[in-house]
Amino acid sequence: MFGGGMGIYLCSPKTDKTSEDDENAELRYGLSAMQGWRDSMEDAHKAILNVDKNTSTSIFGIFDGHGGKLVAKFCAKHLHQEVLKSEAYAKGDLKASLEYSFLRMDEMMKGASGWKELQSLEETSSQLDKLGNGNSSSNAREDDESDYSYAVLTESNDSNLATKKHKYSDFQGPIYGSTAVVALIRGNKLFVANAGDSRCIMSRRGEAVNLSIDHKPNLEHERKRIESAGGFVHGGRVNGSLNLTRAIGDMEFKGRPDLPPDKQVVTCCPDVVEVDLGPGDEFIVLACDGIWDVMSSQAVVDFVKSRLPTTKTLSSLCEEILDYCLSPTTRQQEGCDNMSIIIVQPKQSGVAASSSTD
């Protein structure tokens, strides 16, 4: 492995992919994810058709971790569950249920229960005391060697942290984070919630329609919130560190107790867009910035639409996009990131894959 401007890279990319397909009476989807050049996979995803037993509601999400994978994994495991648990969902207010679920992610990662759940998501015991110490950070944190727990507990100034581990109630949440872009579909209603720079788009009669905005420090309304909360933008990064302005986790940017969540330097509060789906709406794409750094929204629409009539499955088309975006070298940043993508196709649309998934 070797270092680069965006993190730690492998000597050769890992191109094996995690892919799946599924369909119901209204929708079909395919997804694929690939580690690529990065030394670890920090993306996570979720795709569930008929997410509850009472309505034809489906949910899809892409979660792009930075500094580590745990927040992305936490979101993939819990966010859709919090949507369903909310009072707003029970009342049919899907927009409010999505907003609630994003806020709940930050709340649930605090305290003893948050600490325990984040530890349970670790894959190897050797990493249990270093939650979030990700060397492949895309946010200029390569020199951060601090132990994760040491950095975020109230007792962090005590050098013998091992004696303090019973005080999990003081855990303030992870210092690293994840983007989240989530699409919820019920009938002809589409809701897209987004925090960060992952993106959701739609093809409407062959034209790309952006259903989210990339939350970057160069956006005027984002910069104003940052500065009002006491932060600053330097070198295109929040406080000279984070290259996006909304995320789940990243608790070090959410330390103003006098401010609500939507007014913090970095907020987990999503923008939510509601769309009425019609016959001209051909497919929806959710993807992390590893895709959008290489391809424009319209380029993805053109790529998908040109191949839909002959592709075997939507996941195979997703895999084609990952291979297309992967850089042959690490000499440039584009094409060297983790990559995840989901394509969702309403069955009433006029563009169809050549065969159903088996």
**For 246, which DSSP code?**
B
pLDDT tens-digit series, residues 265-300 = 999 999 999 999 999 999 999 999 999 999 999 999
Question: What residue ranges in the chain does DSSP mark as E strands?
Answer: 2-4, 7-23, 27-38, 43-48, 57-66, 177-178, 180-186, 189-195, 199-204, 207-210, 233-234, 237-238, 248-249, 271-276, 281-287, 339-346
* Domain assignment of residue 48, yes or no: yes
Distance of CA 183 to the CA centre of its chain: 12
At 263, the amino acid letter reads K
Residue-wise pLDDT for 188-234, tens only, equals: 999 999 999 999 999 999 999 999 999 999 999 999 999 999 999 99
Gap between the Cα atoms of 140 and 233, Å rounded: 14
What CATH code is carried by the domain that includes residue 141? Answer: 3.60.40.10
Predicted pLDDT of residue 250: 97
Cα(179)–Cα(330) distance, integer angstroms: 23
Question: Does 166 have pLDDT greater than 80?
Answer: no
Query: In terms of residue numbers, what domain contains 295?
Result: 2-146+171-346
**Rounded-to-integer distance, Cα 296 and Cα 237, Å:** 22
Backbone angles phi, psi at 324, to 5 degrees: -65, -40
| Residue 163 banded pLDDT, cuts 50, 70, 90 | very low
* In a domain? residue 165: no
Residue 153 in any domain: the answer is: no
| Mean per-residue pLDDT over the chain, rounded | 86
Q: Left, alpha or beta for 342 (phi > 0: left; psi -120 to 50: alpha)? A: beta
pTM: 0.86
Terminal C-alpha separation, the chain: 39
Position 202 in a domain = yes
The reply to whether 23 falls in a domain is: yes
Joined together, the tokens standing for residue 290 give 């590893």
**Tokens of residue 312, six digits:** 């075997």
In sequence order, the 6+-apart residues with CB closer than 8 A to the CB of 23 are: 29, 49, 347, 356, 357
Confidence of residue 7 (pLDDT cuts 50, 70, 90): low
More confident residue, 238 or 143: 238
Answer yes or no: is pLDDT of 258 > 80.
Answer: yes
Backbone angles phi, psi at 31, to 5 degrees: -145, 160
pLDDT tens profile 46-82: 999 999 988 999 999 999 999 999 999 999 999 999 9
The whole-number pLDDT of residue 169 equals 86
Query: 336 or 130: whose pLDDT is higher?
Result: 336
pLDDT at 2 over 90: no
133 within domain boundaries: yes
Task: Give the integer Cα–Cα distance in Å for 63 and 41.
Answer: 11
Residue 36 domain-assigned? yes
Task: Give the count of domains, the chain.
Answer: 1
